[in-house]
Structure 1
Amino acid sequence: MKPLFACYVLFFLSSSVFAGNESVESDKTLGGDAEVGATLTTGNTKTSSVKAKLDLKHKLGDWENEYIIEGLYKEDDNSVTAKRYQAGAQGNYMFNEDNYVFANGSYEVDEFRGFDYRITAAIGYGHKFFDDEHSFLRAEVGPGYIYDKYTAEQALESGSSKESNMVLHSVVDYQASLSESSKFQQKFIVDLGDRLDVRSESSITAKVIDSLAMKFAVVVRYNNKPLDDIKSTDTETTLTLLYSF
C-alpha cells in the first residue's frame, strides 16, 4: 500500500506537465534561481567545500511547478566530512489565487546521516495567506511517505537494511522584503510519524547587481530518534552567490 502511495504522487506530478501542455503559450512562464558557493584553504589546514543549488519554477495555466537539485560536498584534511545530494519536484494545482492541492517527491543521498538514500513523497492541501511584492506566507499539510535505505554499517548495527513510514507532512514558508534590495525567508518542513523530522532554513538575500545577489543561509535538520552514533541535529551555514532568471 505504501509504495502505491508514492507511485500515485509521481503520477500526480507527471500529470501536471501534460496538463500544462493544453494551456495557451501566454500562460507559460519559467524562471528560477541558481546558486553556488565554495571555500578552499591550503597550508597547515587543508579544507574544501562546494555548495550548489538549482531551483526552477514553472507556471503552466492552473499549475505551479517547482524543481530543485542541490548538493553539498566538504573535505577536511583529505577526509570527506559532508556529502549530500538531493533532487525533488512539486506540482501545485491552483483552484484560485490562494488555494491549491499539491504533490511532491524527492530523492536524497546522505551517508553521514546513516542512509544510502531516502525517498519521500506527499500529497495534500495548500493555502496562501498573502502574496504581494513585499511579503509572502503559505502553509501546506497532507499525508506523506518516507523510505530509508540504510548504509551497510547502519544496517549491521540496527539489524535492518531499510525502513518505511507514513507521516503527516506540513510546510510553512514565509518571505518578507527587508529593503528594496534584500529579503528574508524562513521555511519549516515537518514530517511527523514514528519519528519527528524537522528541516528549518533561514536565509537573507541581498542584491549585488541586476540579477546577481549574495545569500546567507542557515539550515537545521533535526530527528528525535537518530540512528546509532548519529547526532539528532545537523546544522549547515553557507554564503553563496545567487543568480535569478
Structure 2
Amino acid sequence: MKKTLIACLVFSALLGAVHADDAPGTPSNSNAANNGGWSGSGEFGFASARGNSRTDNANAKLTLNQENEMWKNNFFLNGLRSKGEVQVQDEQGNTINRFSTTANRYDAGASVGYKLDTRSYIVGAARYDHDDFGANLWQGIVSIGYGYVALKNEKTELSFEIGPGFKKYRPADQQITEPDGTVVRVRQDTESEPVARGLVNFKYRLTGNTALEDTLLMEAGTKNKYYQNDIGLSVSMTKKLAVKLGYQVRYNSDVQVGIKHTDTLATTNLVYNF
C-alpha cells in the first residue's frame, strides 16, 4: 500500500509541476484551468510536538490537488523527524544523556473523486501512516464513499465525505519490565477490521491574503477509533509565499499501557504555492 501511494504522489507531481502566477492570497484559477485543474503547495518549518513524544525540530508537507468538471482529487505526503537529548541508563546502571531520535513520523495518502454533478461525487481514498513513537507503529486504510459539497463560494467552502473502508494496523510494541529491571519490548500482532471513514473539510477566506482551513478525519472500527483534526491559518506574503500556523490533534482509542491516547503537533511553516 505504501509503495502504491508514493507512486501516485510522484506521478501526480509530474502532472502538476506548472507554476502559477496569481495574485497574493487568491487561488490560481486561470492557471489551474489551463493545467487540468492541478494546483499544489509545499511546506517546511519548525515543529513542536507534545504527547507520546516531546520534540522540537523540522517537518515538511507536500499537497497536490486537482479539481475540474469531472474530477476532485487530492494527494499528500507529510514527514516529521526530530532528535534530542534523552536520559538512558548505561551498562553500569548510570543515568546519562544521549542524543537520539525522539520523533520519526511520515504519512501519505490519496483520494480520487468522480463528480456526479456540481456538488456530489464518488470518492475512493487510501492512507498510510508510520510513527515510531505513536500508539500504532503503522496503519493503512482503503475506503470508498460518497462526497458532497454543501457550500462553495468565493470566501467559504464546506464539504463532507463518508463511506465504508478496511483498515490494517500494528500496535506499538509493549514494554515489559523484568524482575531484574530489564525492559523488554514485545512485538504486537497486526490487527485488521472494517471501519467507517468520515471527512469534513472547511475553508474560509478571512481577508484577501488570509485564509483558515480545518479538516477532521474519522476512522471508526470496533477495535480502534482514530480521529485526526488539522487546523491552519495562512497569511500570504507574495504571489507564491505564505506563512502558515498549524495545529494537529491525533487520537487513538486503543493504546498500550504507558502510551497516551492523544498526540498534538504545533507547526509554523513557510509555504510555497504552485
1:171 corresponding residue in structure 2 = 199
Q: Check whether the contact 2:171–2:255 (CA below 8 A) recurs between aligned residues.
A: no
Computed over aligned residues only, the root mean square deviation of the Cα atoms, in angstroms, reads 2.9
Q: Which residue identity is paired with 2:196? A: L
Moved more, 233-242 or 158-167: 158-167
1:43 corresponding residue in structure 2 = none
Give the one of 49, 63, 72 matched to 1:55.
63
**SS of 2:206's equivalent?**
strand
1:214 corresponding residue in structure 2 = 243
Normalization by structure 1: what TM-score? 0.81
Q: In 2, distance between residues paired with 1:79 and 1:31?
A: 37
- Structure 1 or 2, whichever has the larger Rg, is 2
* Structure 2 gap ranges (5+): 13-32, 48-54, 86-98, 177-183
Moved more, 56-65 or 100-109: 56-65
Moved more, 55-64 or 82-91: 55-64
Question: Does 2:115 match 1:97?
Answer: no
User: Which structure exhibits the higher relative contact order, with contacts defined as CA atoms closer than 8 Å and separated by 6 or more residues?
Assistant: 2
Give the one of 36, 57, 79 matched to 1:28.
36
Q: Check whether the contact 1:72–1:84 (CA below 8 A) recurs between aligned residues.
A: yes
Q: What per-residue deviation string (whole Å, max 9, x for no partner) do you get for residues 125-176 of structure 1? A: 0100111220100011100121113455579877742101111111111010
Q: What per-residue deviation string (whole Å, max 9, x for no partner) do you get for residues 93-137 of structure 1? A: 001110001011112110211433211111100100111220100
Q: Check whether the contact 1:28–1:61 (CA below 8 A) recurs between aligned residues.
A: no
Cα distance change on mapping 1:70 and 1:197 into 2, 3 Å: same
Q: Check whether the contact 1:27–1:59 (CA below 8 A) recurs between aligned residues.
A: no
2:18 corresponding residue in structure 1 = none
User: What pairs with 1:157-236 in structure 2 (closer than 5 Å)?
Assistant: 160-194=188-222, 195-236=224-265
Q: In 2, distance between residues paired with 1:154 and 1:127?
A: 44
Q: What per-residue deviation string (whole Å, max 9, x for no partner) do you get for residues 167-196 of structure 1? A: 111111101011111011111111111222
User: Normalized per residue, which structure has more helix?
Assistant: 1
User: What pairs with 1:57-206 in structure 2 (closer than 5 Å)?
Assistant: 57-59=65-67, 62-77=70-85, 78-153=99-174, 160-194=188-222, 195-206=224-235
Q: Check whether the contact 1:169–1:192 (CA below 8 A) recurs between aligned residues.
A: yes
Q: Which residue identity is paired with 2:65? A: K
Cα distance change on mapping 1:154 and 1:170 into 2, 3 Å: farther
Q: In 2, distance between residues paired with 1:127 and 1:30?
A: 20
Q: In 1, distance between residues paired with 2:187 and 2:39?
A: 45
